[in-house]
Chain A
Amino acid sequence: MTESDLHRAAGNRQKFSDDVKNVASTEVVSLQSTQVVRDALRLFYMNEVKQAPVLDADGRPVGLLSYLDVALARLQSDKTGP
Chain B
Amino acid sequence: MKNHWDVVILGGGFAGLACAKRLEQLWGAEAAHRVLLINAENYFVFQPFLPEVIGASIEPRHVTNPIRFVLRHCTLMRAEVKNISLKDRQVTVDSADGLDVTHIEARQLVLALGSSTDLRAVPGMMEHALFLKTLADALSLREHIVRRLEEASLESNEERRKRLLQFVVVGGGYSGVETAGEILDLLHEARRFYRTLAPAELQVTLVHSGPHVLPELGEKLGRFTKATLEQRGMTVFVKQRVMSVSHDYLRLKDGSRLETHNVICTIGNAPNPVLAGLEGEYEKGKLLTDEWLRVKGYRDVWAIGDGAANPDGYGQRCSPTAQFATPLGKHAANNLVATLTQHTLQPFRYKMLGQMATIGHHKGVCSILGFRFSGFFAWWLTRTVHLLKLPGFDRKLRVVTDWTFELFFPPDLNYWDLRKTQKMARVHLEPGDVVFHQGERGKAFYIVEEGILEATRCDADGEILWKDEVRQGEHFGEGSLLHGLVRRVTVTAKTSATLLVFASKDFKLFVNLFQSLRQLLHDSAMRGPMEEALHSSVWSEELLNCPVRDLMRSPLITCSESSPIAEAVQQLGKVLRRSYCLLAPTGS
Inter-chain contact B556/A41, CB cutoff 8 Å? no
B583 lies within 8 A of chain A by Cβ:
yes
> Which chain A residues (48-82) contact chain B, with CB distance < 8 Å?
51, 53-54, 61-66, 69-70, 73-74, 77, 81
B545 lies within 8 A of chain A by Cβ:
yes
Chain A residues lying within 8 Å of B578, measured Cβ to Cβ, are: 2-3
CB nearest neighbor in A for B531: A42
Chain A residues lying within 8 Å of B534, measured Cβ to Cβ, are: 38, 41-42
How distant is the Cα of A33 from the Cα of B546 in the complex, in angstroms? 11
Smallest Cβ distance from B151 to chain A, in angstroms? Answer: 40
Inter-chain contact B543/A17, CB cutoff 8 Å? no
How distant is the Cα of A32 from the Cα of B538 in the complex, in angstroms? 24
Chain B residues lying within 8 Å of A18, measured Cβ to Cβ, are: 564-565
B276 lies within 8 A of chain A by Cβ:
no
B530 lies within 8 A of chain A by Cβ:
yes
Interface string of A1-38 (1 = CB under 8 A from B): 11110100100001111111101100000011111111
Max chain B Cβ within 10 angstroms of own Cβ: one of A51, A53, A64: A64
**Which single member of A2, A4, A46, A62 contacts B554 (CB below 8 Å)?**
A62
B414 lies within 8 A of chain A by Cβ:
no
Q: Give the A-B pair count, Cβ closer than 8 A.
A: 142
Chain A residues lying within 8 Å of B566, measured Cβ to Cβ, are: 16-17
Smallest Cβ distance from A2 to chain B, in angstroms? Answer: 4
Chain A residues lying within 8 Å of B549, measured Cβ to Cβ, are: 33-34, 54, 62-63
Smallest Cβ distance from B566 to chain A, in angstroms? Answer: 4
Residues of A within 8 A of B (CB): 1-4, 6, 9, 14-21, 23-24, 31-42, 45-46, 51, 53-54, 61-66, 69-70, 73-74, 77, 81
Known A-B contacts A19-B562, A61-B556; A33 and B582 likewise in contact (beta carbons under 8 Å): no
How distant is the Cα of A32 from the Cα of B581 in the complex, in angstroms? 18
B552 lies within 8 A of chain A by Cβ:
yes
How distant is the Cα of A52 from the Cα of B580 in the complex, in angstroms? 10
Max chain B Cβ within 10 angstroms of own Cβ: one of A1, A42, A65, A74: A1
How distant is the Cα of A46 from the Cα of B531 in the complex, in angstroms? 11
Chain A residues lying within 8 Å of B551, measured Cβ to Cβ, are: 37, 65, 69-70, 73
Chain A residues lying within 8 Å of B547, measured Cβ to Cβ, are: 33-37
